[in-house]
Amino acid sequence: MGLEEARTQVDTAFTRRGRKGLSFENAFGGATSFLRRSYTKDLGGVDVAVTGIPFDQAVTNRPGTRLGPRAIREASTLQTFDPPWGWDFDPLSEFSIVDYGDMAFDYADVAAFPRALQEHVAGILDNDVATVTLGGDHSISLPIIAAYAEKYGPLALIQFDAHSDTWPDDDFERIDHGTMFYKAVKSGLIDASRSVQIGIRTVNADPLGIRTISAQEVHRNGVDWVANAVRETVGDKQAYLSFDIDALDPAFAPGTGTPVWGGLASWQAAAILRGIAGVNLLGGDVVEVSPPFDTTGATAIAGAHVAMELLCLWGWTRRKS
């Protein structure tokens, strides 16, 4: 740790010079941008914009994920002193990553939200900047993927989740955090044949052609088998990764709206994410962190680590070394 930097750095979300490099600001103080990156709306020269979507009006059980982006940012301050463990490069030093802040929207005009979110993300993508999104409930993934598909065409989906979220819903005006991937498949936004779900442990009779790897299969076959299965399924297809924090067992992530027992351990999720390095990842999100039910902060910590892994996966195929 840079002791001299720790003595002098404060509020580096606003005061840091340059957009690359680690940060040694005290974890317990200062403005809590994600990973102490610069807060900015200027996307010139930026590689990845981290943006928060504090929306939770589509949940089926416990609310609170509107507070997720704030909690994940705060938890991320523990990760800024060293390169991420388990990778042989440092995306914070090699790439220009910024905190683009949260999306502004009218909380009372729920019907207008999906279009507003799609335009928010499209505005970032128009600058040839990738996104890592902090949710928010899982319904936010549909407008985000729509923005990506509009620019890049149909994507492979890599989904970590306790639920398939492909329950049938042909009312495309409804906003629901359990039907968005049904709509994404039916709308041609994702290529089901090249998509995969990991950690599933709830019943859905029709996965719509998406490969499903249950939590039990993860436990039985091991993380290397899972990572290989993901790489084989996705191939070289351009991919989007959506990580619902309830993919983790409630023992590791209690702060979520629809917890299901028998899920992944933190180490399993970390190993799988690192094991799929090399997939052609365009962007991703981490969703369903609900701080009101996160009694120890463990869920937000897990969410912050997942978001860092998304940055590593995105950077892996673009790194210089």
**Residues annotated within a binding site for Mn(2+):** 138, 161, 163, 165, 244, 246
Residue type, 116: A
Which parts are annotated binding residues? 138, 161, 163, 165, 244, 246
Strand-pair partners of 277: none
- Coil/strand/helix, residue 308: helix
Positions of E strands within the chain: 48-53, 97-102, 130-135, 156-160, 196-200, 211-214, 239-244, 281-287
The answer to whether 155 and 236 have CB atoms below 8 angstroms apart is no
* Burial class of 320 by CB neighbour count within 10 A (0 to 12, 13 to 18, 19+): exposed
CA atoms of 51 and 62, how far apart (whole Å): 23
Angle between helices 113-125 and 141-152 (to 10 degrees): 40
The answer to whether 279 and 246 have CB atoms below 8 angstroms apart is no
Place of tokens 């985000």: 144
Pairing of the two strands 281-287 and 130-135 = parallel
Residue type, 73: R
| Sign of the torsion angle spanned by Cα atoms 251, 27, 121, 272 | negative
